[in-house]
Structure 1
Amino acid sequence: MLELLRDPTYLKYWLAVVVSFLGDAMSRITLIYVAATLVDNPAVIALVIMAQLLPSGVLGAFIGPLADRVPKRALLIGSDLGRIVIVLAMIPALRSVSLLLVLILLEGVGKAFFETARIAAIPKIIGSRQRIPAAVTLFQSTNHTLNLLGPALGGLLLVIGNVPVVLMINAATFAGSALLLAAMPVLREVPTAAAGGHEPYWQALRTGVRAVLSVASLRFLAAFLVPIMLVLGLFTTNFNAQLLMVFDLPALEYGVAQAVFGGGCVIGALLGPAMMRRLPAGRALVVSVGLFALTLLALAPVDGLTGRTALAGAATWCLLTGVSSSLLQVPIATAILQDLGEQVRGRGVGLINSIMVLLTIAGVGLGGLIATAWGVTASIVVAGVALIVATAVFVRPALRLGTARPGPTPAAPPRVEVGRD
């Protein structure tokens, strides 16, 4: 995995991601803090989170055709430069929740363009299909580490500085990311789909969907993502509620629990390559989802503990859920990047990312409803049971994928007559 950082091209890409994502993590907690101080209503926090996530879910599939036609460099740098303007515009808007939400939504649009192009460019950047699991692992572990450091740095800056300082630093990280990406010649290449002539946009979008659905492993992934992302969304909603409302952790212990969960996420990402070397992506996904479901079920006995044993049990549960939730993301990302042909990679990444984000948002809403009706702990345990059932359903398709003779990865989308629906 670390050998990738010895590659000058990948090192520039990795540094650009580190700089950009660190700024994002810092500003994310800052904007939630600002919204919460302006309006004393928990719904405002939910609106901020929705504004950050929704553009990727709604626009990802529609950005895909552009990622297959336009050099990745233009999309990535354009997104960074656009977000500099948007983030700086937030400074005079800090007293208006409605204006701030609009700007957060616009920043989310920029991130949707950036993420689609960034993910689609990875195979070109690393230059080898065999290095994809290592690249996925390095990104996941880096991302989880930044999610630990970013909020801490953001909170520190809020104490010793102020909100405009955090936003200006975030804008500077986008500028740094743009400079690093501009120094990568591989991103200037015109995609092969564009070299063959311009297909009408809507036709290109339909072609991309058909190309994704023509690959058995991606059909399996798209179907399995439905229960996975719904449960992950539910878990995202109720994990913090479990720590604060059920385990009743004070501030210091809550912070420690979050750090333990984040450390588990890093461990899970680092374990990913070993699992991918031993199992095909489909089987690895079934195994990792099953492990995550078991950690959700493990909450039932932990919830009955008391005293110091309860704190130790909560910490252990946080560690295990961090490991398993992170581990299952490795085969998902690997399958997407390995099994998508180059000419449709942007459309495939955009489509699958849209599915994942929209299902996560649905799971967030579902988690709140189930927790209200049945309780926080019961909602997490029931989600684990549902995921066990889903895993059992998808075992047989995963075994068929694992034993099937591998065919060539489609390098071009299936031919479709223009004008036909």
Structure 2
Amino acid sequence: MSERSGGEPGDGEPTPRRRGLFADTTPLRTPSFRRLWTAGVVTVVGAQLTVVAVPFQLFALTGSSAWVGLTGLFGLVPLIVFGLWGGAIADAVDRRMLLVVSGIGIAVTSALLGITAVTHIGGPWTVLVIFAVQTACLAVNQPTRSAVLPRILPLEQLPAANTLWFTVQQLGAFAGPLVGGVALAFIDVGVLYFVDTVCLFASIWAAYRLPRLPVGDDAEGGFRGVVHAIRQSAGLRSVVDGFRYAAMSKVLLVSFLADLVAMGFGMPRAVFPQAAVETYGGGPAYGLLSAAIAGGAALGGLLSGRLHGIARQGVAVTIAVCLWGVGVALSGLTSILWLAVLLLAAAGAADLVSSVFRSTMLQTVATDEMRGRMQGVFVVVVAGGPRVADLWHGWAADAVGTGLATTIGGVAVVVGMIAVVLAFPAFWRYRAPVAGQDVDAPVGQS
């Protein structure tokens, strides 16, 4: 059974199974998770303000969208490198301290971005370099945070906990850009960075309140332990071991392939600007299309109570990915804006289901010694898939139009997912471990 946070009220108490309409909030009864989640609600607001602020600041400095486009490169490279490396570090050090250190790094870089905006010290390259460092800190923080959950919650509560996490993220992705965009009409961009910095202290505090979470009995604690892990235990060999481990587990391998298929083929965001003008007549169309997927995912999370207790998680992921593809494909066939938004929102809700169960699989199938590296691979896959889709959707839209490009992508998702499951039927047969089973048991590795 999972290791729980030391002796806090509510820890270790059995919780009754509940399957209502709304999201299962049972994990919030555990104080450690409740603090992390509540801090996440605060932090996601600030994070989305920075997401809006960086492109705005770069365009204000240069007047060029090409400079803004460089954020993709400066964000992707550190995300891949430090997502993988950070996962390896998380498997060699006290994860509590790693969360604190990486959280401080994120806060410091947000403050530095605010200083550059207010003082006008440095140019666009300065902004891009600080943004890259911040992304590296985020890439370490995210897999570590996910790897912590099985140590502070019972196994059977992980789907509900992941749903709560993803719902907050999607609500932030939906509302944050709207709030930030409006705010920039009245305040300086530097204020958004400083608000983000202040919000980040909530997550740093919540991480500090966690118990020590060493991976092994000999793991060294404190800041010195983090440095030692970086120097000794978390090198390229550990990253390679993580890939080898994922390849040996069909369930883990297909969980990654499912996301690559869903996002690499199906994410149509690159065509939204052109479709908004050519198909839907401009106006609010671009904003509605851009917010539809996140809005649907957030609503799906709020109404996710029926997901609790689903054992056949491989089946759930397969169906959810196919429904995502169907929603995207159908959205490309209509010239009616409200219908396209509705279909994309439905696709977003299906994607939330897939994300919840895939993340739960990573937390339960992987042993604790490999959990950080698996979450690191997960972060890289989640970030890389949409960027692959951006590339080919842009070319396809120029060649055959936005609608057909979107539909082709959606159909490819369905075909690709079915092909993957046929090639690896163990994924379709996968069932979640029952309550009381050791979370570190290599479930589904055959």
Is TM-score (shorter-chain normalized) higher than 0.5?
Answer: yes
Match for residue 85 of structure 1? 108
Q: Distance between the aligned counterparts of 1:193 and 1:367, measured in 2? A: 49
Q: Distance between the aligned counterparts of 1:244 and 1:280, measured in 2? A: 43
Q: Gaps spanning 5+ residues in structure 2: where?
A: 1-23, 221-228
Match for residue 249 of structure 2? 215
Write the letter of the residue equivalent to 2:294.
G
Q: CA deviation at 1:193?
A: 7.2
Write the letter of the residue equivalent to 1:150.
G
Q: Distance between the aligned counterparts of 1:53 and 1:85, measured in 2? A: 20
Question: What is the CA deviation profile of residues 88-125 of structure 1, one whole-angstrom value per residue up to 9, with x for unaligned ones?
Answer: 22234335111111111111011111112111111112
Q: Distance between the aligned counterparts of 1:91 and 1:403, measured in 2? A: 50
Question: What is the CA deviation profile of residues 7-34 of structure 1, one whole-angstrom value per residue up to 9, with x for unaligned ones?
Answer: 2111111022222221110111111112
Aligned residues between the structures: 402
Q: Distance between the aligned counterparts of 1:244 and 1:322, measured in 2? A: 22
Q: CA deviation at 1:318?
A: 3.3
Write the letter of the residue equivalent to 1:289.
V
Q: CA deviation at 1:157?
A: 3.0
CA contact (8 A) 2:43 2:203 kept: yes
CA contact (8 A) 1:243 1:249 kept: yes
Q: CA deviation at 1:169?
A: 0.9
Match for residue 175 of structure 1? 201
Alignment of 1:119-158 (within 5 A): 119-126=146-153, 128-158=154-184
**Of 390, 393, 398, the match for 1:372:** 398
- SS of the residue corresponding to residue 396 of structure 1 reads helix
Question: What is the CA deviation profile of residues 243-287 of structure 1, one whole-angstrom value per residue up to 9, with x for unaligned ones?
Answer: 344212303x54455555433111333455634634522211110
Match for residue 142 of structure 2? 115
Q: Distance between the aligned counterparts of 2:351 and 2:366, measured in 1? A: 24
Question: What is the CA deviation profile of residues 334-382 of structure 1, one whole-angstrom value per residue up to 9, with x for unaligned ones?
Answer: 2211211111101111123223323332222222222222222121111
Match for residue 93 of structure 2? 70
**Of 261, 268, 273, the match for 1:227:** 261
Q: CA RMSD in A?
A: 2.8
Distance 1:239 1:272, change over 3 A: farther
Match for residue 214 of structure 2? 190
Q: CA deviation at 1:162?
A: 1.3
CA contact (8 A) 1:340 1:409 kept: no
Does residue 2 of structure 1 match 2:36? no
Distance 1:314 1:80, change over 3 A: same
- SS of the residue corresponding to residue 184 of structure 2 reads helix
Distance 1:259 1:208, change over 3 A: closer
Write the letter of the residue equivalent to 2:26.
E
Distance 1:47 1:246, change over 3 A: farther
Q: More deviation in 341-350 or 370-379?
A: 370-379
CA contact (8 A) 2:258 2:321 kept: no
Match for residue 336 of structure 1? 362
CA contact (8 A) 2:312 2:430 kept: no
Q: Distance between the aligned counterparts of 1:59 and 1:397, measured in 2? A: 31
- SS of the residue corresponding to residue 144 of structure 2 reads helix
Q: Gaps spanning 5+ residues in structure 1: where?
A: 304-309, 414-421
Q: More deviation in 291-300 or 239-248?
A: 239-248
Using the size of structure 1 for normalisation, the TM-score is 0.86
Does residue 242 of structure 1 match 2:290? no
Q: Distance between the aligned counterparts of 1:240 and 1:138, measured in 2? A: 31
**Of 378, 383, 386, the match for 2:409:** 383
Q: More deviation in 400-409 or 175-184?
A: 400-409
Higher helix share: 1
Distance 1:98 1:237, change over 3 A: same
- SS of the residue corresponding to residue 139 of structure 1 reads helix
Q: Distance between the aligned counterparts of 1:356 and 1:82, measured in 2? A: 22
Q: Distance between the aligned counterparts of 2:136 and 2:280, measured in 1? A: 37
Q: More deviation in 204-213 or 267-276?
A: 267-276
- SS of the residue corresponding to residue 189 of structure 1 reads coil
Match for residue 314 of structure 1? 340
Distance 1:375 1:358, change over 3 A: same
Q: CA deviation at 1:131?
A: 0.8
Does residue 299 of structure 1 match 2:323? no
Using the size of structure 2 for normalisation, the TM-score is 0.81
Q: Distance between the aligned counterparts of 2:387 and 2:286, measured in 1? A: 24
Q: Distance between the aligned counterparts of 1:200 and 1:311, measured in 2? A: 49
Match for residue 419 of structure 2? 393
Match for residue 130 of structure 2? 103
Q: More deviation in 144-153 or 223-232?
A: 223-232
Does residue 19 of structure 1 match 2:34? no
Distance 1:223 1:83, change over 3 A: closer
Q: Distance between the aligned counterparts of 2:397 and 2:106, measured in 1? A: 36
Q: CA deviation at 1:171?
A: 1.0
Distance 1:401 1:157, change over 3 A: closer
